[in-house]
Structure 1
Amino acid sequence: MENNTQSPTLDNKKPETTSSFAVVGAGVVGLCVALEAQRRGHKVTLIDDKAPGKSTSSGNAGYLATEIIDPLGTPEVLRSAPKLWLNPKGPICTPIRYITKAAPWYWRFIKAAQPDQAQRGTEMIHQLNKESVGAWKRTLTDIGAEALLIKGGHLVVWENPDKRDEASKLIEKMHSYDISCELVDGNNLALLEPELSQTLSHAVFFPEIHRLSDPYDVCKALFDAFIKRGGSFISARVNAIQPYEDSIRLVTTQQTETFDRVSICAGAWSKTLLEQVGIHVPLEAERGYHVTFPNDKTRIHHTILSADRKLVLSPLDAGLRAVGMSEIGGLDLPPIKKRYQVLREHTKGLLPKLFDNPNLQSSEWMGHRPSLPDSLPVIDQHPLYSRLSFAFGHQHLGITQAAISAELLLEKIEMRPTRIPMEALRVDRF
């Protein structure tokens, strides 16, 4: 049963259980699920063929984007999509070799972007985001790593002074959802961020936004706590899932094991695993890129989203990171190299002094966001085999929603009241 009743906190008594619980996928969502299952008394094994936190989770901007409440597909996005697509330096692209494969996903995306469905998506994302910071505080406090969560504030900036109405509309919408923000003009923006280009016209400031010190460091802290508490890690790929009424068998590249419960949290790699158990979801790998400048994290004090350039700048412990691009491109194609240059050009437009250094160092990365056409994750159990559960498909909000997703999933598995309704997050909704 699902309702809006607040669920127990971490301080409540753990249930009596010795059940074995496997989590497939050691990204940030899988790590949060593994820890939450441990807290609930389960004996947990984490399985991934990649090092924990080293895949998609390591490369994001690291901020809890609770102000991003709209799905990726909205009527406004559909209207602007052709212009964005035709811009060679724009944020949207589909590799030529993948267009045919991407077409069915885009068709579902267009349908999900219709006004009524998009609004329902906004309401659901807002509910998840509203709970996300509290869940992260509980998670990190529980493992003694609360210092990794920073209340740093966030800026959405515009270069074109003719777009002040966009800022006003954003503020009006945010206030309608009780999200704190305010308009900042160019002069005050320069006080907040002196290194930003003087050509910036105005911004919207979100004072309550939090960020992680570094996404990989947080994943490492989660994994270290999981191991110290008796968790096991198997470095292997899961080749087959065999569900039974009283157990779930996993066949991996290393061994075959049987567990009382299994949760699939494998991000963009979840789709093929679900197909083995009769579930077909329109999950696509939405490729994102970043360029990190390791010696320049102190150039900015807040996370910054450029409304014009569609990229995020983030001051992480790993360095100043520029994150952007949205490519429905699958899991196998190599990165498009020119995307890194576009990110550098956009970064220079916002932080010109950064490029005065003739010895400027930087690194490049491309990862795979797990995206569903309606921009909502799956947090659910198999309709026939309740011992098999799922948490994946968080698109751009994996870091934001990881901790709350873990809490919701364990609430659902243990048939406790969930703190928000979860009908929209069913695995069979497609």
Structure 2
Amino acid sequence: MHCDTIVLGAGIVGVSTALQLQARGRSVVLLDRAQPGSGTSHGNAGLIERASVIPYSFPRELSRLLRYGLNQQSDVRYSLKHLPKAGPWLLKYWQQSAPKALARATRAMLPLIEQCVSEHDLLAEPAGVTALIDDSGWIEVYRTQTDFDKAQRDAAALSDYRLNYRVLGEQQVHALEPGLHNDVIGGIHWLDPKTVSDPGGLTRGYAELFVKRGGTFVIGDATSLRATAGQWQVESQKGLIVGNEVVIALGPQARAIFEPLGYRIPLAIKRGYHMHYAAKDGHTMQHPILDSVGGYVLAPMVGGIRLTTGIEFADSDDPINEIQLRRCEERAQRLYPLGERVDAEPWLGRRPCLPDMCPVIGPGSRHKGLWFNFGHAHHGLTLGPVSGRLLAEMMTGEKPFTDPAPYSAERFH
């Protein structure tokens, strides 16, 4: 099977990249080891996060670092045996989270964040998945006046970005979400983001649109990728796939492909969990709710109320460890009336992260026809369509809508 471009990875980033290339006239084969939307794209909080203009940085305050050092927090947990391996990467992450570097990352990511909702809109309607998307935003809630006051100051400090939000007093936040525990005293309602009730379903819907428009999806082994006679080839269940170009959009699995090709890109994994719960006491959750102090999100999903955890630093292949989920679950039960667990076991996902908080989008300099689109950290769902657009513009010779230099793989050399 011959094509112009092979896209490796059928998560939200890979599927979106395939669609954007297809729209520009390229014949595309999309390849994954499993069905579209089965990996990290399946298990997130379902936020198209237009309001996250400041990247998730490493904490700099000594008091927070000391708390995390005790390894008792619900938002971040680490495996002791993993720390020596993760240490050098965490140091780079900490360095890149200094004020000047964080400001640089913020400027770099802003053009992608600003276009994230509109690029999803362009795909969602023809894909027939608008029923999975809601435009009523999400809410972060607070139990103490100190935390609530700080949240309001932090929101006001973002005024240059012209974000739309409402400060909710006690009566207002309980009117929007009557199930909240009565010790919630207020919240911030972010209005620009959209929310998705089935992120995996959204990704599958986009993949079906790609196939409907003439694209080909195949199950195959990305690690079989080889450069031969100026072309790229990879093995699939339908035989050998040969393409002029290849895109690595494999998220947390990207390292297995780019490292053997000689690229040294500091990709790391932040693990995270989710669990679904039945509704309780007749309540119906209307918006995703962030407990920013606890570091978890509760979101209404087609499978129930989904609790998604913060960050776990552990080896990618380590077995599921419920410690962090149980910590978040205990806090969440005091925030909202959750019923029984719905899933047989927790879902474990792996976020592909780079220490400067920007993805890699662009060419591989050592090989003709090799392109990268991975490392979107907490914002894969958010940035899939817009980063796919940027890469497709670069690959087809269009003028990119924003300067792609901040996302170059060469920045690490």
Compared CA separation, residues 166 and 371, structure 1 to 2 (3 A): same
The residue that corresponds to 1:387 in the other structure is 369
Compared CA separation, residues 20 and 385, structure 1 to 2 (3 A): same
1:324 aligned to 304, 309, 315, which one? 309
Match of 2:116, as an amino acid?
Answer: S
Structure 2: how far apart are the matches of 1:65 and 1:48?
26
CA-CA distance at 1:182 after TM superposition: 2.4
Structure 1: how far apart are the matches of 2:3 and 2:86?
40
CA-CA distance at 1:185 after TM superposition: 1.3
- Please tell me the root mean square deviation across aligned C-alpha atoms, in Å: 2.2
The residue that corresponds to 2:220 in the other structure is 236
Mean Cα deviation higher: 84-93 or 107-116: 84-93
Structure 2, unpaired ranges of 5+: none
1:269 aligned to 253, 258, 276, which one? 253
CA-CA distance at 1:33 after TM superposition: 0.9
- The 3-state SS of whatever aligns with 2:152 is helix
Equivalence map 1:243-258=2 (5 Å)? 243=227, 246-251=230-235, 255-258=239-242
CA-CA distance at 1:241 after TM superposition: 3.3
Compared CA separation, residues 122 and 215, structure 1 to 2 (3 A): same
CA-CA distance at 1:251 after TM superposition: 5.0
Asked if structure 1 preserves the Cα contact closer than 8 Å seen for 2:126 and 2:209, the reply is no
Asked if structure 2 preserves the Cα contact closer than 8 Å seen for 1:152 and 1:303, the reply is no
Compared CA separation, residues 50 and 77, structure 1 to 2 (3 A): farther
1:311 aligned to 291, 296, 299, which one? 296
Compared CA separation, residues 30 and 79, structure 1 to 2 (3 A): farther
Asked if structure 2 preserves the Cα contact closer than 8 Å seen for 1:241 and 1:276, the reply is no
- The 3-state SS of whatever aligns with 1:71 is coil
Compared CA separation, residues 245 and 412, structure 1 to 2 (3 A): farther
The residue that corresponds to 2:139 in the other structure is 155
The residue that corresponds to 1:128 in the other structure is 112
Structure 2: how far apart are the matches of 1:140 and 1:199?
38
Say whether residues 1:291 and 2:294 are aligned partners: no
Say whether residues 1:365 and 2:350 are aligned partners: no
TM-score of the aligned structures, taking structure 2 as reference length: 0.93
CA-CA distance at 1:426 after TM superposition: 0.6
- The 3-state SS of whatever aligns with 1:428 is helix
Structure 2: how far apart are the matches of 1:403 and 1:382?
21
Structure 1, unpaired ranges of 5+: 1-17
For 1:81-100, what per-residue CA distance to the aligned partner results, in whole angstroms no more than 9, with x for missing partners? 33134252421122122112
Mean Cα deviation higher: 408-417 or 238-247: 238-247
Say whether residues 1:113 and 2:97 are aligned partners: yes
CA-CA distance at 1:360 after TM superposition: 5.5
Asked if structure 1 preserves the Cα contact closer than 8 Å seen for 2:3 and 2:242, the reply is no
The percentage of counterpart residues that share the same residue type is: 26
Say whether residues 1:23 and 2:3 are aligned partners: no
Alignment length, in residue pairs?
409
Say whether residues 1:199 and 2:183 are aligned partners: yes
Structure 2: how far apart are the matches of 1:378 and 1:78?
31
Equivalence map 1:72-91=2 (5 Å)? 72-74=56-58, 76=60, 80-91=64-75
Match of 1:142, as an amino acid?
Answer: P
2:319 aligned to 323, 334, 337, which one? 334
CA-CA distance at 1:362 after TM superposition: 4.3
